């Protein structure tokens, strides 16, 4: 089946620095990818839709200048958390839909900002 990978799986960074998270579709092409944020014991909150070759679409309340998304190829989307603060600590998950209306999720990235 389709596989989506994320890198890194976990990262610790200092407050004020930026962190980049990669999401790759390994055996299929994804013109669209989704980025989610998940707080402990909560559901997934959609942050933005990443579109290959065009600007990302952000959900209401998500700061596009803080969460930079780039979808440079049909298999790679990146999320950069700029000037990270402790409140940005969370579990970030990406997903990619297939033509058969399924979504394949990455394993997630645990971000801890100290």
Residues in the site for other proteins, rule: CB under 8 A?
4, 6, 32, 34, 41-44, 46, 49, 91, 93, 95, 97, 100-108, 110
> Least separation, in Å, of the C-beta of 69 and other proteins?
15
Q: Among 9, 6, 15, 32, which Cα is nearest to 88's? A: 15
The DSSP call for residue 99 is T
Give φ, ψ of 25 to 5 degrees.
-90, 120
**CA 35 – CA 101 distance, rounded (Å):** 17
**46 vs 72 by CB, closer to other proteins:** 46
**18 vs 103 by CB, closer to other proteins:** 103
14 Cβ contact list (under 8 Å, min separation 6): 113, 114
**13 vs 44 by CB, closer to other proteins:** 44
**CA 24 – CA 52 distance, rounded (Å):** 12
> Least separation, in Å, of the C-beta of 31 and other proteins?
9
> Least separation, in Å, of the C-beta of 108 and other proteins?
5
> Least separation, in Å, of the C-beta of 29 and other proteins?
13
**18 vs 42 by CB, closer to other proteins:** 42
């Amino acid at each position: 089946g389709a596989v989506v990978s994320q890198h890194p799986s976990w990262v610790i960074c200092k407050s004020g620095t930026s962190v980049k998270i990669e999401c790759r579709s390994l055996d299929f092409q994804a013109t669209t990818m989704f980025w989610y944020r998940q707080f402990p014991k909560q559901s997934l909150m959609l942050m933005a839709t990443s579109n290959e070759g065009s600007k990302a679409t952000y959900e209401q309340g998500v700061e596009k200048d803080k969460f930079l998304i780039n979808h440079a190829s049909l298999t790679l989307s990146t999320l950069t958390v700029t000037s990270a603060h402790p409140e940005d600590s969370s579990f970030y998950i990406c997903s990619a839909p297939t033509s058969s209306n399924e979504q394949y999720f990455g394993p997630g990235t645990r971000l801890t900002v100290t």
